[in-house]
Amino acid sequence: MLVEKLKNDMIEAMRLHQKLRLTVIRMVKAALDKERIDNKKEINDDLVIEVVGKQIKLRKDSIEEFKKANRQDLVDQTEEELEILKAYLPKQLTDEEVEQIIDETIKKIGASSMKDMGKVMKEITPQVRGKYDLGILSNLIKQKLS
């Protein structure tokens, strides 16, 4: 279970004095607790994946901003944080696997134009959440439907 892995990794990071890793894990745990309290959700693997996914998206956005500001030191640190976070996501799907899922879904739904984009996304998202970047997924679907 991912919650147990987080707890064990936090203890290990404290023991080994891995400050960055400990900070990232504590941020994830705080985000989990916030999500649990705000939305009255039970902490389970799906919630951990959702929260970690949000944290990864935040880091990717930050990296872009840091690059614009010419702050390589912050880019490097944020990339390290990204690597730590990725350990809590399930095995990522390859582009080929995602394209196959898209093709099968388009055929199954009978999607033929951009107006079917929402239906396709709605069908695919639960299958790939946490396993593939949804922004890239959206672009791939747009390419296939246009």
CATH class of 2-86: mainly alpha
- Please, which residues have CB within 8 angstroms of residue 73's CB and are 6 or more apart in sequence? none
Digit-by-digit pLDDT tens for the chain (146 residues) are 888 999 999 999 999 999 999 999 999 999 999 999 998 888 888 889 889 988 998 999 999 999 999 999 999 999 999 999 998 888 888 889 998 999 999 888 888 888 888 888 999 988 888 788 888 889 999 888 88
**95-145: same fold as 2-86?**
no
Angstrom CA distances, 132 to 21, 49, 53, 67, 71, stand at 23, 12, 10, 24, 28
pTM of the model: 0.76
Coil vs helix vs strand at 107: helix
What pLDDT score was predicted for residue 84? Answer: 94
Q: Where are the domains of the chain?
A: 2-86, 95-145
Question: Domain 95-145's class?
Answer: mainly alpha
pLDDT attached to residue 11? 96
